[in-house]
C-alpha cells in the first residue's frame, strides 16, 4: 500500500493520564501524519480508548501536550477539537436511537449551521437555504456509504452493523480532516468487516482524511494501516509500520501471543 | 435529433426515439433517484444524450452490425446506450450484472465483444479479471466514476469522455447520425439476449426491431397503454421481460421508465413512484405478501381483526368485482367499506395505488397468491412467453382471469398444440436466429415456421392456454391420452399435507402415485386429533393419514375430470412411502427435484404391487443417515384406491 503521507498534523508529547490512583496513560508520545491511517492497538485496558478521548478533549491529561497543526493545546476540549476538524465514532454506538438516519447525520452538520433557532423553527429564508445545502451534503454521505435504503428508518431499528455505518456517516458529515474511529469493526461479521474496511480506505483515498483507528482485529489493522502504535498497561511499547510492529519482540509477547 | 426526416416509418427503435423527441420533447422519458431526489430526463434530453453516445461510439470506431455488451443495474444511461448502439446499426447485448466474471466470459467471447459499457467499478474489476482471456476486448466504458480514480489503463474510459467526444464529432459530422439511422432496417437485429443455459451452453437469441416493436405494440394495444404510464424498471436488463416492458414498450408508447436508487430501495421507490403499469416475477409478489403478513402479526388486535374480516370479504367478492361479475349488494357495500379501511391503505403501502395493469410471468404463481392481489383490487394478470418470442405469446384479457391458465394468444400470435402436446407459436415476434448457431435455430423452428417452445399445454373450452409440463416429460397412457406427470404432481403438492408426489402412468393403463407426507403439517394435524405417532414411518402408515391423503387425491381427481384430455390421468391407486425421499439417497436432486427414473427402479416392487392390484406390499430399503451411517427401513405398505370420476359422455 503506497499512500502519500504528508506533514505531521497531530503530535502528542509525553501525555500522562490518571484517574485517581489508576494510571491510564503513562508518558506517551506519538505523531500522526496527514492523510495516513494510523492504528492504535493493545490488549484490553491498555488505554486505547483513553488515548482517543485525550485527542478529542473528553479527558484532560495531567501531563503532556497536544500539538494540532502547529498549535499547542495543553487543554483540549471536545468543542475545540470539533472546530479544529476532528470527528469521531464511538465503541458503543452513540446515536439518537429514536431519530432516523437523515436526522442523525444532520446532527453531524450542527457545527456548520449558522442560522438561529427561531429562523430554523420557521424554516424560512436563509435557514431554509442553509438546511437544503446541508441536506445535500448529508445525501452525499448517504450515497457514499450506500445506506439509501435506510434513510428514513429510525436508527434503533437497524441491525448493529448498519448502526456502525451510520455512526461513521455522522462523523463524515462533519467533513473532518481527522477522523477518530473507536473499534469500527467490533462485533461485525466477516462481510460487514470487509465493507467497513472498504469504506475506511475509500474515505482516506477520496477525501484525503487522516484516520486514527483503534481495532482489535489484527488482520484488519495490518492490512489497512500505514503505521501502528502499540500500547500495553498505558505505556507505549511499539511504534512503526505494520511489519516492524509485527517483528517487535515486546509487542509479540504482550499482545500478538506466541503464535507469531 | 430534430433534423431527421419524420416521414420514415417508425419501424426501428432509433426512429421511434426521434419521433418522441419531436412529439413529446418536454415530457418525462426516464427518471432516476439520485442523492435522494428524482432526476428527470425528458424525451428531448434522452435524444440529445443518445446522439452524444452514438457519435462517441462512431468516433471510437464502432461498426454497423457489431455487438456491444451492457452490464449493470437499471440506469437511464444503460437504456440510452442500447438505443445509441442501435442508431449505428449495432446490437446491444445486455448481460446479467450479478454473474461472476467466468460466467460472463462465454457471452463476451461468443458475441465477439470489442466494446463493453458497464455500470461501475465492480463490473470493471470483473472484466479486468478475465481480460487476458478476451483478446478482442478493446474498450471498457463505465457510467459511475466512483472508485475509478486509480484505474489508469488506457482502454478504460469514463462515459462522460465518450459523450464529450461524441458532441465534438457531431459538430464536425452533423449528418452522420441521420444517415446511419436512415440506413437501419426493421429486420435488423435490435438486441441479443442470452438464454440462461440451464441445459447446455447459453445461446444468444437475436431479435429484430420488427419483432420487439410488434410485441410491444401488440401488448400496448391489448392493455390500452398510453404515454402517461409510469413503470419501475428494476428487473435485470438482460431478461427479456425487462427489455419488453422497460425498453420496447416505453419506446413504442412513450411512457416513463423509473430507475430505482439501488437494489435495496426498490420498495421505497415503488411507493414514491406509484407505477400505473407493473411487471414482476411471482417471487416478488410473494415477498411483498410475506412482508405484509409479518407486519400484520405485529399489528394491534383491532387492526388484525379488521384485516382478517375484510380479507374474508375480499376473498368472497373482490376478484368478482374486479372482473365485473355480479355480486350481491351487501357484499359490494362491505367491499367498499373494506376499500376505505384496509385494501386502499394496503395497496398504498405496497406502492400499488395507481396500478392499472400488473403482469407476472417467469414461473407458475400459486393460486392463493394470485387471488390475494386480485381480491384487493389489483389487476394482476399472467402472461406467457420466452426469450425467443419477446415474452409475447399469451396474455390474460381483462375480466377473463383464470389462475391456472396464461390467457389467450396475444394479438398477431398464432398458437397451436402439436400431437405430442407441445406448444408451437408463430408470429412477427419470433427470433431471427440463435447467434452463430444455425443447428440450434433449425432445431427450434420447424419447417412451417413455428417456434417449438418445449412446453406442453392444452387449450380449455374458452380458448385459454394452460401450461402443463415440459414437453419432454409428457407421455401417453396406454389408451393414447396425454399424460403430464409434473402437472399432476404439482396439483398434489399444492396441498400442505403432501410434500412430494411421484406419479407413474407413461404407457400404462392407469395413473398411480407414491406420496410423501409433510411431517410438519400432517404431524400438526395428528396432534390436534390426539393421534400418537413415533416417527415418519409410523405416521405415514396410520389409516387416518391414509384417509386424509385420499381426500386430497379425490379432490385432484375431481379437478382432472373437468380438464379434457387429462381426465384419463385420474389417480387410481396410491401408497404413502415409508421414508421421505432424500437427496442423500439419490432420490432427489440437490435442488429437490424428484429423479423419477431412479425412484421407479429403486421401488419397482411397489410399482408392480400398484399395477398388480395387490392390497399391501412389504418393502425394505437401505437409507443413509445424516451422519453417514447406513441403516434399513422396512414396512408393510398399504395400497389405497381413491374414488375416480366417470368422464362425461363416456362409458367407463
pLDDT in tens, B466-517: 988 888 888 888 888 889 898 899 889 888 899 899 999 999 999 999 999 9
Is the residue at B459 inside a domain? no
Residue B3 clears pLDDT 50, i.e. is over it: no
Looking at residue B498, which CATH number applies to its domain?
3.30.300.30
Same domain, B258 and B334: no
A241 interface with B at CB cutoff 8 Å = no
* pLDDT of B73 above 80: yes
d(CA A123, CA A135): 13
In a domain, A69, yes or no: yes
> Given this model, what pLDDT does residue B652 score?
42
Among candidate residues B52, B181, B65, the one with its CA nearest the CA of residue B114: B65
Could you tell me if B616 and B551 lie in one domain? Answer: yes
**pLDDT tens-digit series, residues B613-627:** 888 888 888 887 767
Say if B20 falls within a structural domain. yes
C-alpha grid cell for residue B123?
A: 463490473
pLDDT at A123 over 70: yes
* pLDDT computed for residue B323 by the predictor: 87
Q: Which residues pair with B530 in a beta bridge?
A: none
Give a yes or no: residue A3 inside a domain. yes
Residue B134's pLDDT is: 95
Interface test mutation site (partner B, options A134, A148, A169, max chain B beta carbons within 10 A): A148
Q: Is A72 left (phi over 0), alpha (psi -120 to 50) or beta?
A: beta
Q: How far is A138 from chain B (nearest CA, A)?
A: 9
Residue B54 included in any domain: yes
Number of domains comprising chain B? 3
ipTM of the complex: 0.75
pLDDT of B161 reads 96
Residue B593: inside a domain: yes
Out of B339, B357, B378, pick the residue that ends a domain: B378
Q: Stretch A2-6: mean pLDDT, rounded? A: 61
Contact yes or no for A142 and B36 at CB 8 A: yes
Q: Mean of the pLDDT values across residues B181-201?
A: 87
B355 pLDDT above the threshold of 80: yes
Residue A185 lies in a domain: no
Question: Under an 8 A CB cutoff, do A148 and B149 touch?
Answer: no
Query: Considering the domain boundaries, does residue A100 fall inside one?
Result: no
Higher pLDDT pick, B397 / B626: B397
Same domain, yes or no: B355 and B502:
no
Is the pLDDT at A216 greater than 90? The verdict is no
Q: Taking CB atoms and an 8 Å cutoff, what residues of chain B touch A143?
A: 34-35
Mean pLDDT throughout B527-556? 92
Clarify whether residues B255 and B339 are in a common domain.
no
**Please, which residues have CB within 8 angstroms of residue B283's CB and are 6 or more apart in sequence?**
B363
Is the pLDDT at B12 greater than 80, yes or no?
yes
Does B635 have pLDDT greater than 90? no
In this structure, are residues A179 and A171 in contact, taking their beta carbons and an 8 Å threshold?
Answer: yes
Same domain membership, residue B269 and residue B286: no
> Do the domain assignments include residue B405?
no
What mean pLDDT do residues B626-647 have? 82
Q: Is B137 part of a structural domain of the chain? A: yes
For B333, residues 6+ apart whose C-beta sits below 8 A from its C-beta are: none
Greatest extent of chain B over all pairs of C-alpha atoms, in Å: 89
Contact B261/A at CB under 8 A: yes
What is the predicted pLDDT for the residue at A260? Answer: 39
Say if residue B337 is in the same domain as residue B482.
no
Checking if the pLDDT of A124 tops 80, the result is no
Domain end point (choices B273, B299, B315): B273
Angle at A118 between CA A116 and CA A123, to 5 degrees: 90
What's residue B621's pLDDT?
A: 85
Burial tier of B152 (Cβ tally within 10 Å: 0-12, 13-18, 19+): exposed
A residues 185-214 closer than 8 Å to B (CB) = 202, 205-206
pLDDT range class, residue B649, cuts 50, 70, 90: low
- Is there a contact between B406 and B396 (Cβ–Cβ < 8 Å)? yes
Residue in B closest to A203 by C-alpha = B147
B228 Cβ neighbours under 8 A, 6+ residues apart: B255, B276
Say if residues B69 and B182 touch (Cβ distance below 8 Å): no
- Quick one: pLDDT at residue B188? 96
Secondary structure E strands in B17-109: 28-34, 37-42, 67-71, 91-95
pLDDT averaged over chain B?
91
Which tens digits make up the pLDDT trace of B108-149? Answer: 999 999 999 999 999 999 999 999 999 999 999 999 998 898
pLDDT band at B416 (very low <50, low <70, confident <90, very high): very high
Last residue of a domain, one of B324, B350, B378: B378
Instruction: Read off the CATH number of the domain in which B17 is found.
Output: 3.40.50.12780
pLDDT of residue B395: 95
Q: Does B149 touch chain A (CB under 8 A)?
A: yes
**pLDDT, average across residues A32-44:** 91
| pLDDT score at B650 | 53
B138 at interface of A, judged by CB pairs closer than 8 A: no
pLDDT(B92) > 70: yes
How far is the C-alpha of B601 from the C-alpha of A135, rounded, in Å?
A: 68
Is B591 within a domain?
yes
CB atoms < 10 A from the CB of A110, how many? 12
Average pLDDT of the segment spanning A58-87: 88
Q: Which residues of B touch A131 (CB under 8 A)?
A: none
Asked if the structure places residue A177 within a domain, the reply is: no
Q: With bands split at pLDDT 50, 70 and 90, how would you rate the model's confidence at A45?
A: confident
B211 bridge partner residues: none
Q: Of the candidates A7, A55, A8, A6, which has an alpha carbon nearest to the alpha carbon of residue A28? A: A55
Residue A55 in domain = yes
Joined together, the cell numbers standing for residue A116 give 438561529
The domain that holds A224 is classified in CATH as 3.40.50.300
Predicted confidence band of residue B1 (pLDDT cuts 50, 70, 90): very low
Pairing of strands A227-232, A37-41: parallel
Torsion over CA of B548, B554, B559 and B562, rounded to 10 degrees?
-170
The CA distance from B79 to B474, in Å, is 40
Q: Do A140 and B149 touch (CB under 8 A)?
A: no
Q: Give the domain range for residue A220.
A: 1-85+212-260
CA distance A29 to chain B (A): 35
Taken in order A150, A154, A160, A165, is the CA torsion positive or negative?
Answer: positive
Domain that residue B319 falls in: 282-378
Residue A179 lies in a domain: no
| Residue in B with minimal Cα distance to A205 | B147
Q: What is the C-alpha separation between B436 and B431, in angstroms, rounded?
A: 13
Beta carbons of B35 and A139 less than 8 Å apart: yes
User: What distance in Å separates the CA atoms of residue B628 and residue B641, rounded to the nearest whole number?
Assistant: 37
Q: How many helices (H) and strands (E) does chain A have?
A: 10, 10
Which pLDDT value is given to residue B198?
A: 59
pLDDT band at B648 (very low <50, low <70, confident <90, very high): low
Query: Phi-psi category of A59—alpha, beta or left, where left has phi over 0 and alpha has psi -120 to 50?
Result: beta
pLDDT at A2 over 80: no
- Residues B495 and B590 reside in one and the same domain: yes
Q: Tell me which residue in A143, A152, A202 faces B35 most closely, judged by beta carbons.
A: A143
Distance CA B150, CA B139 (A): 17
Within an 8 Å CB–CB cutoff, is residue B147 touching chain A? yes
For residues B264 and B288, membership in a common domain is answered with: no
**CA–CA distance, B513 with B503 (Å, rounded to integer):** 4
- pLDDT tens-place string over residues A149-172: 999 999 999 999 999 999 999 999
Q: Are B374 and B502 within one domain?
A: no
Q: Is residue B177 domain-shared with residue B199, that is, in the same domain?
A: yes
SS3 call for A38: strand
Of residues A117 and B607, the one with the higher pLDDT is B607
Q: Which of A139, A140, A149 sits opposite B262 (nearest CB)?
A: A149
DSSP structure class, residue B445? B
pLDDT of residue B7: 46
Asked if the Cβ–Cβ distance from A206 to B265 is below 8 Å, we say no
Q: How many domains does chain A have?
A: 1
Contacts of B261 in chain A (CB under 8 A): 148-149
Which has more confidence, A75 or A53?
A: A53
One domain, residues B202 and B60: yes
The set of cell numbers assigned to B162 is 465518450
Find, in chain B, the residue whose alpha carbon is nearest to that of A102.
B36
Residues B265, B341, single domain; the answer is no
Q: Among A135, A149, A152, whose Cβ lies nearest the Cβ of B264?
A: A149
Query: Is the pLDDT score of B553 beyond 70?
Result: yes
pLDDT at B93 over 90: yes
Contacts of A140 in chain B (CB under 8 A): 35
Least confident span in B69-73, B166-170, B638-642: B638-642
Burial of B354 (C-beta count, 10 Å sphere; 0-12/13-18/19+) = middle
- What's the predicted TM-score (pTM) here? 0.82
Cα gap A183→A212, rounded to integer Å: 10
> Residue A29: inside a domain, yes or no?
yes
Cell numbers of B497, please? 399435507
Long-range contacts of A4-7 (CB under 8 A, 24+ apart): A4/A35, A5/A33, A5/A34, A5/A35, A5/A36, A5/A226, A6/A33, A6/A34, A6/A35, A7/A33, A7/A34
Cell numbers found for residue B137: 476486448
DSSP character for B195? Answer: -
Burial of A54 by CB count in 10 Å (0-12 exposed, 13-18 middle, 19+ buried)? Answer: buried
Q: What is the CA radius of gyration of chain B?
A: 28
Element housing B249 (H / E):
helix B249-253
Amino acid at each position: 500500500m503506497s499512500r502519500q503521507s504528508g506533514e505531521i498534523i497531530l503530535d502528542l508529547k509525553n501525555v500522562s493520564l490518571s484517574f485517581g490512583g489508576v494510571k491510564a496513560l503513562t508518558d506517551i508520545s506519538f505523531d500522526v501524519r496527514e492523510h495516513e491511517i494510523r492504528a492504535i492497538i493493545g490488549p484490553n485496558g491498555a488505554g486505547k480508548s483513553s488515548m482517543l478521548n485525550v485527542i478529542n478533549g473528553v479527558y484532560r491529561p495531567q501531563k503532556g501536550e497536544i500539538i494540532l497543526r502547529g498549535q499547542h493545546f495543553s487543554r483540549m476540549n471536545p468543542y475545540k477539537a470539533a472546530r479544529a476538524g476532528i470527528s469521531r465514532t464511538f465503541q458503543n454506538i452513540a446515536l439518537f436511537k429514536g431519530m432516523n438516519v437523515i436526522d442523525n447525520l444532520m446532527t453531524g452538520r450542527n457545527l456548520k449551521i449558522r442560522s438561529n433557532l427561531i429562523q430554523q423553527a420557521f424554516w424560512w429564508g436563509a435557514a431554509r437555504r442553509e438546511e437544503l445545502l446541508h441536506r445535500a451534503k448529508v445525501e452525499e454521505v448517504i450515497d457514499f456509504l450506500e445506506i439509501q435504503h435506510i434513510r428514513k428508518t429510525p436508527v434503533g431499528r437497524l441491525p448493529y452493523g448498519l448502526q456502525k455505518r451510520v455512526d461513521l456517516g455522522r462523523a463524515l458529515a462533519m467533513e473532518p480532516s481527522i477522523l477518530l474511529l473507536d473499534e469500527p469493526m467490533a462485533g461485525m461479521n466477516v462481510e460487514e468487516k470487509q465493507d467497513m474496511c472498504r469504506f475506511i480506505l475509500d474515505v482516506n483515498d477520496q477525501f484525503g482524511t487522516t484516520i486514527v483507528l483503534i481495532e482489535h482485529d489484527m488482520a484488519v489493522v495490518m492490512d489497512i494501516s500505514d503505521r501502528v502504535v502499540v500500547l500495553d498497561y498505558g505505556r507505549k511499547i511499539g511504534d512503526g509500520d505494520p511489519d516492524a510492529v509485527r517483528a517487535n519482540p515486546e509487542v509479540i509477547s504482550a499482545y500478538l501471543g506466541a503464535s507469531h | 435529433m430534430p433534423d431527421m426526416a419524420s416521414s420514415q416509418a417508425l419501424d426501428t427503435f432509433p426512429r421511434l426515439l426521434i419521433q418522441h423527441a419531436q412529439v413529446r420533447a418536454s415530457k418525462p422519458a426516464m427518471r432516476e433517484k439520485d442523492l435522494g431526489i428524482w432526476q428527470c430526463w425528458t424525451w428531448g434530453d434522452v435524444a440529445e444524450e443518445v446522439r452524444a453516445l452514438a457519435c462517441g461510439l462512431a468516433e471510437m470506431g464502432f461498426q454497423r452490425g457489431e455487438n456491444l455488451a451492457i452490464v449493470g443495474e437499471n440506469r437511464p444511461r444503460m437504456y440510452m446506450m442500447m438505443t445509441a448502439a442501435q442508431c449505428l446499426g449495432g446490437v446491444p447485448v445486455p448481460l446479467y450484472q450479478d454473474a461472476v466474471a467466468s460466467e460472463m466470459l462465454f457471452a463476451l467471447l461468443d458475441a465477439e465483444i470489442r466494446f463493453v459499457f458497464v455500470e461501475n467499478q465492480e463490473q470493471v474489476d470483473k472484466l479486468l479479471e478475465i481480460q487476458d482471456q478476451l483478446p478482442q476486448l478493446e474498450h471498457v466504458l463505465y457510467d459511475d466514476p466512483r472508485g475509478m480514480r486509480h484505474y489508469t489503463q488506457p482502454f478504460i474510459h469514463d462515459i462522460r469522455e465518450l459523450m464529450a467526444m461524441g458532441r465534438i464529432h457531431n459538430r464536425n459530422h452533423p449528418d452522420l447520425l441521420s444517415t446511419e439511422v436512415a440506413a437501419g432496417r426493421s429486420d435488423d437485429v435490435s438486441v441479443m439476449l442470452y438464454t440462461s443455459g440451464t441445459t447446455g451452453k447459453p445461446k444468444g437469441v437475436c431479435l429484430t426491431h420488427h419483432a420487439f416493436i410488434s410485441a410491444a405494440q401488440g401488448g400496448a394495444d391489448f392493455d390500452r397503454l398510453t404515454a402517461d404510464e409510469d413503470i419501475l424498471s428494476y428487473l435485470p436488463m438482460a431478461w427479456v421481460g425487462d427489455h419488453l416492458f422497460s425498453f420496447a414498450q416505453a419506446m413504442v408508447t412513450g411512457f416513463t421508465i423509473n430507475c430505482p436508487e439501488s437494489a435495496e430501495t426498490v420498495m421505497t421507490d415503488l411507493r414514491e413512484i406509484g407505477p400505473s403499469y407493473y411487471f414482476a416475477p411471482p417471487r416478488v409478489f410473494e415477498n411483498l405478501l410475506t412482508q405484509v403478513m409479518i407486519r400484520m402479526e405485529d399489528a394491534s388486535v383491532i387492526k388484525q381483526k379488521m384485516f382478517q374480516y375484510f380479507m374474508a370479504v375480499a376473498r368472497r367478492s373482490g376478484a368478482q368485482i374486479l372482473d365485473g361479475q355480479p355480486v350481491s349488494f351487501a357484499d359490494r357495500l362491505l367491499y367498499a367499506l373494506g376499500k376505505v379501511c384496509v385494501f386502499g391503505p394496503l395497496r398504498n403501502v405496497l406502492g400499488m395505488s395507481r396500478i392499472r395493469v400488473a403482469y407476472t410471468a417467469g414461473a407458475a404463481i400459486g393460486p392463493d397468491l394470485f387471488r390475494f392481489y386480485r381480491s384487493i383490487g389489483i389487476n394482476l394478470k399472467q402472461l406467457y412467453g420466452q426469450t425467443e418470442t419477446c415474452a409475447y405469446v399469451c396474455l390474460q384479457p381483462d375480466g377473463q382471469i383464470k389462475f391456472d391458465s396464461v390467457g389467450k394468444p396475444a394479438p398477431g400470435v398464432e398458437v397451436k398444440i402439436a400431437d405430442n402436446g407441445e406448444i408451437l407459436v408463430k408470429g412477427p415476434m419470433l427470433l431471427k436466429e440463435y447467434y452463430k448457431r444455425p443447428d440450434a435455430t433449425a432445431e427450434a423452428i420447424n419447417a412451417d415456421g413455428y417456434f417449438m417452445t418445449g412446453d406442453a399445454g392444452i387449450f380449455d373450452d374458452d380458448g385459454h392456454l394452460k401450461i402443463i409440463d415440459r414437453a419432454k416429460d409428457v407421455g401417453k397412457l396406454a389408451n393414447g391420452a396425454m399424460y403430464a406427470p409434473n402437472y399432476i404432481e404439482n396439483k398434489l403438492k399444492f396441498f400442505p399435507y403432501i410434500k412430494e408426489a411421484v406419479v407413474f402412468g407413461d404407457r400404462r393403463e392407469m395413473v398411480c402415485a407414491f406420496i410423501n407426507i409433510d411431517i410438519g403439517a400432517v404431524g400438526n394435524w395428528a396432534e390436534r386429533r390426539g393421534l400418537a405417532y413415533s416417527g415418519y414411518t409410523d405416521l405415514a402408515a396410520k389409516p387416518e393419514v391414509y384417509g386424509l391423503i385420499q381426500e386430497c387425491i379425490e379432490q385432484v381427481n375431481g379437478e382432472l375430470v373437468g380438464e379434457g384430455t387429462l381426465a384419463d390421468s385420474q389417480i387410481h391407486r396410491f401408497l404413502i412411502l415409508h421414508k421421505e425421499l432424500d437427496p442423500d439417497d439419490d432420490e432427489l436432486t440437490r435442488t429437490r427435484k424428484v429423479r423419477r427414473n431412479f425412484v421407479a427402479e429403486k421401488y419397482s416392487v411397489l410399482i408392480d404391487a400398484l399395477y398388480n392390484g395387490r392390497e399391501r406390499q412389504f418393502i425394505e430399503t437401505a437409507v443413509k443417515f445424516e451422519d453417514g451411517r447406513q441403516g434399513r427401513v422396512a414396512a408393510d405398505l398399504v395400497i389405497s384406491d381413491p374414488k375416480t370420476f366417470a368422464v362425461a359422455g363416456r362409458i367407463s
